[in-house]
Amino acid sequence: MSVDRHTRGVLPIPHRPAAGLTTYDAKDPDTAFPPIEPLLPPEGAPNVLVVLLDDVGFGASSAFGGPCQTPTAERLATGGLRYNRFHTTALCAPTRQALLTGRNHHSAGMGSITETATSAPGMSSLRPNTMAPVATTLKLNGYSTAQFGKCHEVPVWQSSPMGPFDAWPSGGGGFETFYGFIGGENNQWDPSLYNGTTAVEPPATAEEGYHLTDDLTDHAIGWVRQQKALMPDKPFFVYFAPGATHAPHHVPLEWADKYAGRFDDGWDVLRERTLARQKELGVVPDDTELTARHSEITAWDDMPDELKPVLARQMEVYAGFLEQTDHHVGRLIDALADLEILDDTLVYYIIGDNGASAEGTMNGAFNEMANFNGMAAVETPEFMVSKMADFGSPDSYNHYSVGWAWAMNSPLQWTKQVASHWGGTRNGTIVHWPHGIEERGGLRSQFTHVIDVAPTILEAAGLPMPTIVNGVLQAPIEGTSMMYSFNAADEPERHDLQYFEMFGNRGIYHRGWSAVTKHKTPWMMVDPDMGPFDADVWELYDGSNDFSQAHNLAADQPERLANLQRLWLIEAAKYNVLPLDDRSGERLNPDLAGRPTLIRGDSQLLFPGMGRLSENSVVSIKNKSFSVTADVEMGDAPAEGVLIAQGGRFGGWAFYAKDGKAKFVYNVLGIHEFPIVADEPIPAGHRQLRMEFAYDGGGLAKGGEVTLYYDGNEVGRGRVEMTQPMVFSADETTDVGYESGTTVTPDYTSATSRFSGAINWVQIDLGDDDNDHFIDPDERLRIAMARQ
């Protein structure tokens, strides 16, 4: 093996000028310089592929005894290792930040999701520059780097088309290539995509067979092939993080139909069957017990009979979604095998970034945004039954019942967000690397955590943790390399102390024991059981003899429990966990949360062509009166198309022209649509089109009166009976002069949405204090800037 001539502790590796004689004439026979050599990692450094699925519980995949068939995971496990005590943070963005940095999520500023960031250091959503991502370290050591799929680590005030892009994968994230989406979830049929930092549209429609996971896989395969064709000696790091299987559970129906009838017996029976398979497979100890169902989770037998077929269909759709996702992971694995590089690729297949998601309510959801707006009651059992055939289709934005999430975490307690218990944090993981792992089909039961992935990759590549990156002294890595366990099944675990915390749900693991306390229930937007943190009841479990946390020993060993509680507090103080924060709605408000916002004041001026503006990039019109004014130039032809639209098919509003007339529509969750149309056509010439919404007041989600104006003259009036109080969409955006993604109304499509006239500007104003119903063009900019 050759000697590595680079000093890799400082990155970028400092340039060292060549020593020796400098001649005057390049033709001089004494002229000699060493050849330019491309930067490469140390000899023997493997390719690296990290696959991270989304919202998959420990008991979902067939590779870990679950009911959802995942033959790719099984294939990799047969040729590699299963880890049955691998843990995440209980929530998506924190897990991803921890994975990519090798530091605890609070240390890296991601104590929660970006949308609920606060000014507290552990909750800011800002990754410190003392914690360079592993992708940066690999790139600066000669790896090619690429990410495909979900990125939920961008602070919301940095997610607009203007950046800054420091937290974006291809900006400051260390990835030379990025193709995917920014945020927590996306419509699998019609996603909001980025190539690097440039917004792009999907290459096809759902009607033409498009699906996001298929598209991401095509791009990943194409990139790997090109990289090996052009740089065969250079290893790669590919991070493949599809949005699957996060809600919405979108999948071609033939995948869901494969599971028809398999879940008709309900979630209680499913958990029993799953545990039996897990024991038979050997992924849990033979003495593992099924944990009891908590009172917050309704028994299957107690669910309404008329709803059970819908509930069963929800699980069929989810199972098909997971199998389809695994199929596409298999396509990527096959591409590596075809290139004859699979054996020299360190593959991490992490089956879930947290436990299965219980954010869909007990009844499940046809549009999950209903629950996020506190409006789940609008989806009545009758409504759900009427939509049964559409679950998983482009017409849905669906989620499954809490009961199925609980079953997907079998045999463990609780679900995603509940960081206290293994149901929120234990995720089956497979490591495959034939050139580095001797055993085939082995099981590893050492305690491991997602912060261990980065140091494992560095050790496998023969790279040190850098001391300085881009001139900044780096904080010590907090994870522990897992390589010691690759060829030593019985080696004592080296990661034997780990805290957990999410929304006040907290726990600690230390040398086999865990002390935990659940504080908040995920599917309750306002949890009536939450009291002060000091009133939370702690539980104690002996993990050496109780894999599933079935036997609470707190009453038997109070001294041990007290010691672990104190240890949790010490670790919490060390890693920026404090202060604890269980707030929900308040943290969505940037002023209350203390995070920056792009929008200040009560007015926003927008221009034609602006688009892909997230809700955090636009002044909020929720639960208040507002007006929208568009200054336009019209020809003689009847006006058509969008002036401005926010949201999409599953909730939002649009101000547009249809059949020559101005029209406003408010779409509540894709269930109720309230249109208001002008009484007369828009005249030709320079015109000002305006709509005003007078909010009823008296609380959240109320309705209001809508009035339409041309040049200050009333031309139409109508009523919106209800509104969405919290969020329109997790993935749809605001566009001016057109509408991308799904459309708020079927009156047009994204392809036909472009406004037929010329838009000079569009202004949104909050409040109802403009009695002239007209904005003087000469005063427009001065007023708008003053209000901001």
Kindly report the average pLDDT of the chain as a whole number. Answer: 95
- Burial of 518 (C-beta count, 10 Å sphere; 0-12/13-18/19+): buried
Which distant-in-sequence residues (6+ apart) come within 8 Å of 17 by Cβ?
none
Per-residue pLDDT at 162: 92
Output 590 or 709, whichever has higher pLDDT. Answer: 709
782 band by pLDDT with thresholds 50, 70 and 90: low
Q: Is 481 a residue whose pLDDT tops 50?
A: yes
Give the rounded percent of residues in the chain with a pLDDT score beyond 70.
Answer: 97
Q: Which of 349, 353, 312, 354 is nearest to 329 (CA)?
A: 349
The tokens for 255 are 């995948």
Question: Within a 10 A sphere around the Cβ of 512, how many other Cβ atoms?
Answer: 14
108 band by pLDDT with thresholds 50, 70 and 90: very high
- How does DSSP classify residue 536? P
- Supply φ then ψ for residue 568, to 5 degrees: -60, -45
5 band by pLDDT with thresholds 50, 70 and 90: low
> Once rounded to an integer, what is the mean pLDDT over residues 521-526?
84
Q: What DSSP element (H or E) covers 264?
A: none
Q: Which amino acid is located at 368 in the chain?
A: E
- Calpha distance 38→289 (Å, rounded): 55
Task: Look at phi and psi of residue 183 and say left if phi exceeds 0, alpha if psi is from -120 to 50, else beta.
Answer: left
Q: Where are the beta strands (DSSP E) in 380-496?
A: 429-432, 442-444, 448-449, 468-469, 472-473
The per-residue b/e assignment along 108-144, b for 16 or more CB within 10 angstroms, e otherwise, is: bbbbbbbbbbbebebbbbbbbebbbbbbbbbbbbbbb
- How does DSSP classify residue 172? T
Q: List beta partners, residue 663.
A: 656, 677
Quick check: 108 and 128 in contact, CB under 8 A?
Answer: yes
CA 702 to chain CA centroid, Å, is 30
Three-state DSSP at 153 gives coil
Q: Is 41 a residue whose pLDDT tops 70?
A: yes
Which distant-in-sequence residues (6+ apart) come within 8 Å of 80 by Cβ?
347, 430, 431, 432, 433, 434, 437, 440, 441, 442
Q: Is 1 a residue whose pLDDT tops 60?
A: no
- Burial of 199 (C-beta count, 10 Å sphere; 0-12/13-18/19+): middle
> Once rounded to an integer, what is the mean pLDDT over residues 484-499?
98
CA angle 318, 270, 88 (to 5 degrees): 60
* pTM exceeding 0.85: yes
Quick check: 412 and 422 in contact, CB under 8 A?
Answer: yes
Q: Which amino acid is located at 502 in the chain?
A: M
575, 427, 456, 13: CA torsion to nearest 10: -60
Quick check: 590 and 596 in contact, CB under 8 A?
Answer: yes
CA 713 to chain CA centroid, Å, is 46
Q: What DSSP element (H or E) covers 337?
A: helix 308-338
Quick check: 239 and 50 in contact, CB under 8 A?
Answer: yes
Residues in the chain: 788
- Supply φ then ψ for residue 149, to 5 degrees: 120, -135
Tens digits of residue pLDDT in 259-309: 999 999 999 999 999 999 999 999 999 999 999 999 999 999 999 999 999
- Calpha distance 36→34 (Å, rounded): 7
Distances (CA, A) of 668 to 482, 665, 723: 49, 10, 6
Quick check: 443 and 283 in contact, CB under 8 A?
Answer: yes
Bond preceding residue 411 cis, omega within 30 of 0: yes
Per-residue pLDDT at 129: 98
Quick check: 166 and 172 in contact, CB under 8 A?
Answer: yes
Quick check: 497 and 176 in contact, CB under 8 A?
Answer: no
Question: Within a 10 A sphere around the Cβ of 494, how many other Cβ atoms?
Answer: 14
Quick check: 355 and 427 in contact, CB under 8 A?
Answer: yes
User: Beta strand pairing status for 193-195 and 177-182?
Assistant: antiparallel
Helix-helix angle 308-338:71-78, to 10 degrees: 50
Q: Which of 358, 352, 355, 351 is nearest to 399 (CA)?
A: 358
Three-state DSSP at 422 gives helix
Q: Which of 354-368, 482-496, 534-548, 582-596 has the lowest mean pLDDT?
A: 582-596
Three-state SS annotation for 186-235:
CCCCCCCEEECCEEECCCCCHHHCCCHHHHHHHHHHHHHHHHHHHCCCCC
Bond preceding residue 252 cis, omega within 30 of 0: no
The tokens for 193 are 């995509």
- Calpha distance 251→494 (Å, rounded): 40
Q: Which of 318, 329, 181 is nearest to 250 (CA)?
A: 318
> Once rounded to an integer, what is the mean pLDDT over residues 244-258?
98
The tokens for 622 are 């929720």
527 band by pLDDT with thresholds 50, 70 and 90: low
- Nearest-Å Rg of the Cα atoms of the chain is 28
Give the rounded percent of residues in the chain with a pLDDT score beyond 90.
Answer: 91
Q: Is 787 a residue whose pLDDT tops 60?
A: no
Quick check: 566 and 730 in contact, CB under 8 A?
Answer: no
Q: Is 203 a residue whose pLDDT tops 80?
A: yes
Per-residue pLDDT at 20: 87
Tens digits of residue pLDDT in 137-187: 999 999 999 999 999 999 999 999 999 999 999 999 999 999 999 999 999
The tokens for 391 are 């679950």
Q: Is 529 a residue whose pLDDT tops 80?
A: no
What single string gives the DSSP state of each residue in 439-468? -SSEEE-S-EEGGGHHHHHHHHHT-PPPSE
- Calpha distance 624→630 (Å, rounded): 20
The tokens for 92 are 């998506």
